[in-house]
Amino acid sequence: MSITGCTDLIEALSSASTVDELHTVCSRLCEDYGFERFIYGSRIPTSFVKPYFIFISGYPKAWRDHYTERNYMIVDPTVVYCAENITPMLWDRRSVLHDPTPEVQRFMSEAQDFGISSGISFPVHSAQGDFAMLSLASELQVINRPMIDQVLPVGQLFTAYLHEAVRRVFDSDVLPLTRVELTQREKECLLWVTEGKTNWETSRILNISERTVVFHLQNIQTKLGVSNRHQAVARAVAQGFIQPQFTQ
């Protein structure tokens, strides 16, 4: 597969409108670059305690069920790595086991029983707080280096487009929660809350009455459907409604 071979894969992602189509494109990526299995997963910060998860699985169903049942997401070293990092992770039993927690050891061993022995995982983090990752897996005991060098750049790009496509496909269905419009003034008020200012301090900064600051923050709470200011701050920051400023 040449470097330009990914262009049509990405176009296929952009034109996909169903999960099945996305699944097909991921399968094609696998074939093109010599992997047997893939799995895509993402976590949308609709809540901190119970976020929204999306999976597109090309893994054996039995393994997926086992994984879910045991809540392996908090053990899986690829998830742990990708949740914190921005560059791909190469993994096989040996390379992961330099940090051999018994649980991780067991996890890797069980995965291998399902034909998932080595592979590469690509993390993506979005400005809207989404965390997504794509893993490509192989039955080979040890990672095949030339294979990796081929897929490394393509996979990173592909995963970004894949997640973008997933958001597009799923947004209309299930995620109106993450599509809230805050007015300019509302964002300004919330911004100063994140800087630790009180209502009164914010009112002096924006040159409005303290009551008006409260008014805007009340509207934000209603829009976001949250019960107090702390939750509003957490949601707004996590979902990127307010971002650090660009004024130096």
Partner DNA sequence: TCTTCAACTGTAAGATCTTACAGTTACGCA
Partner DNA sequence: TGCGTAACTGTAAGATCTTACAGTTGAAGA
List residues binding DNA (CB under 7 A): 183-186, 193, 198-200, 203, 206, 208-212, 214-218, 221, 227-230
* Size of residue set near a copy of itself by CB under 8 A: 68
The angle that helices 184-194 and 199-206 make with each other, rounded to 10 degrees, is 130
H helices, E strands: number in the chain: 11, 5
Using rule CB under 8 A, residue 34 touches a copy of itself: no
Using rule CB under 8 A, residue 183 touches a copy of itself: no
CA–CA separation, 193 vs 184, rounded Å?
14
Query: What are the C-alpha distances in Å from 213 to residues 110, 128, 188, 191, 206?
Result: 55, 25, 10, 12, 9
Closer to DNA at the Cβ: 47 or 57? Answer: 47
Closer to a copy of itself at the Cβ: 117 or 158? Answer: 158
Identify which range of 22-30, 94-102, 113-121, 233-241 contacts a copy of itself by CB under 8 A.
Answer: 233-241
Closer to DNA at the Cβ: 144 or 219? Answer: 219
Using rule CB under 8 A, residue 105 touches a copy of itself: no
Q: Which does 34 bind (CB under 5 to 8 A by kind): DNA, a copy of itself, none?
A: none
Residue type, 65: D
Using rule CB under 8 A, residue 150 touches a copy of itself: yes
Q: Which does 32 bind (CB under 5 to 8 A by kind): a copy of itself, DNA, none?
A: none
In whole angstroms, the minimum distance from the beta carbon of 171 to DNA comes to 21
Using rule CB under 8 A, residue 71 touches a copy of itself: yes
- The answer to whether 145 and 97 are in contact (CB under 8 A) is no
CA–CA separation, 17 vs 89, rounded Å?
29
CA–CA separation, 86 vs 133, rounded Å?
10
CA–CA separation, 207 vs 244, rounded Å?
21
Closer to a copy of itself at the Cβ: 102 or 244? Answer: 244
C-alpha count within 13 angstroms, C-beta hemisphere, residue 132: 25
Residue type, 166: V
CA–CA separation, 89 vs 58, rounded Å?
19
Give the footprint of a copy of itself on residues 107-146 (CB under 8 A).
124-129, 131
What residues line the site for a copy of itself (CB under 8 A)?
2-4, 6-7, 43, 45, 47-51, 53, 68, 71, 73-74, 79, 83-88, 124-129, 131, 149-150, 152-154, 156-157, 160-161, 163-164, 191-196, 198, 226-231, 233-235, 237-238, 240, 242-248
